[in-house]
Chains A and B, each alone.
Chain A
Amino acid sequence: MTNERALEIIASHGGCEARWPDAERDAALALAGSDATVAAALADARRLDAVLNGWAQDVPARSFDAAAIIAAAAAVAPDATVPPVLQSSVVASRPLPGRPAIAMRRWLAGGAVAAAALLSVAVLGPGARMPVAAPVVVAAVPATGVAATPAAAPPVVLAAVDSPAGKAISTNTGLAGNAATRLAVAEGGALGSDAEVFAHVFTPTVYEDELI
């Protein structure tokens, strides 16, 4: 055991010899008994230990509410708005090392489409005029909902575009409590101008906003 090693042990492990490496404890202690430099470092380390123990332990407690954490997690978790089957298929298809390159290409293509859609919304703005003619909901999920879904959540119609048949297609993730609102939006009757309809249609939920 050298002085340097003893000082290293004291510097990193502090002055409590019980926490020193077992294999070096006896030798370091012996050196502290015979070497004034090591002894001084040990005394200094013990003073610092007392300060640091108080610093590290003197923290006021707080109880966290497990039920509230579960409820909050359910409110923002993907499975609150996306069907589990879709989630699992998306997750299962994610690119991984060793997976065929086609999976990566699919993901990149999907990402490109999503980016283009977001860019167009950002450039055109929510008030941009787009033709909406007598939209009809063709993909409405039953409003059975999820327990954590807020009843007053805003509409979650993600897109409305002209179909070749002149019908607008509304893709809806189906949150509980919004069926009437969705229907009103889809029929274009409850709101006034096309711009108002689109401003309403493109209002994201909190979860969608986070994704964006």
Chain B
Amino acid sequence: MNSLPIPPPTNSPRAPAADSGLAVLMARIVDGDAVAFGRLVGALEGPGLRLADRTLGDRAGAEDVVQVALTRVWTMAARFDPARGSVEGWFRRIVINLCLDRRRSIRLVAPLEAADHVASSAPDPFEAAVENDQRARLDAAMARLAPRQRAALAMFHGEGLTMAEIAEAMEATPKAVEGLLGRARIELRALIGSEDAT
């Protein structure tokens, strides 16, 4: 495992050719082409891990989810129907469903009080403490949101997806996603604001 940061995504709409390339890979995977699967894994692992990590707030759980999701892509490749959506959308849907299933049995372990106990060993203690404190407050506020809200925020801000693409992944309507994102941002702002005030 390496710890290189994932290259930031572009916020521009993805080229249709890119996903048609993934659809071609899927067709080869149905025939058992391991090389094609390796290439598909390379294309999906980054976005999948970002989405799972941010939805769950749990790195180890996110890695498990992506591993299972990729396994399902391999074992259930024949079920992918290009007429019903993109490969990426199908994969995102698998990841989100796995995350939500997992969340039903796990409680989040980042109480707001945790923000008061942030240690730092960075060279510049003051700046690092401020940064850590802000990050801890954000994480604590995120922990108060519903998993679906975090998933929507992760896709909108992490992958630059449109409302329609998020709706496809979440099996909802674009209008419902708008409402989900709006409420998430308002709640988040209120939570961060209330933390700032204390």
Contacts and interface: CB of A to CB of B under 8 A. Distances in A.
Given A11-B182, A12-B182, A48-B185, A60 B5 contact: yes
Nearest to B74: A73
A63 B45 contact: yes
Contacts of B157: 14, 49, 52-53, 55-57
Contact of A56 (B1, B59, B74, B158): B158
Contacts of B158: 53, 56-57, 59
Interface in B23-77: 34, 37-38, 40-42, 45-46, 49-50, 53-54, 59, 63, 66-67, 70-71, 74-75
A14 B185 contact: yes
Interface stretch (B6-14, B105-113, B121-129): B6-14
B186 interface: yes
Nearest to A77: B75
A99 B189 CA distance: 53
Interface of B: 1-6, 8-9, 11, 34, 37-38, 40-42, 45-46, 49-50, 53-54, 59, 63, 66-67, 70-71, 74-75, 138, 142, 153-154, 156-159, 162-163, 178-179, 181-182, 185-186, 188-189, 192
Top 8 closest A-B pairs, CB basis? Answer: A56-B158, A12-B182, A66-B38, A56-B157, A11-B182, A12-B178, A52-B157, A66-B41
Given A45-B185, A57-B8, 10 more contacts: A11-B185, A52-B185, A53-B157, A53-B158, A55-B142, A59-B54, A60-B2, A62-B2, A64-B66, A66-B34
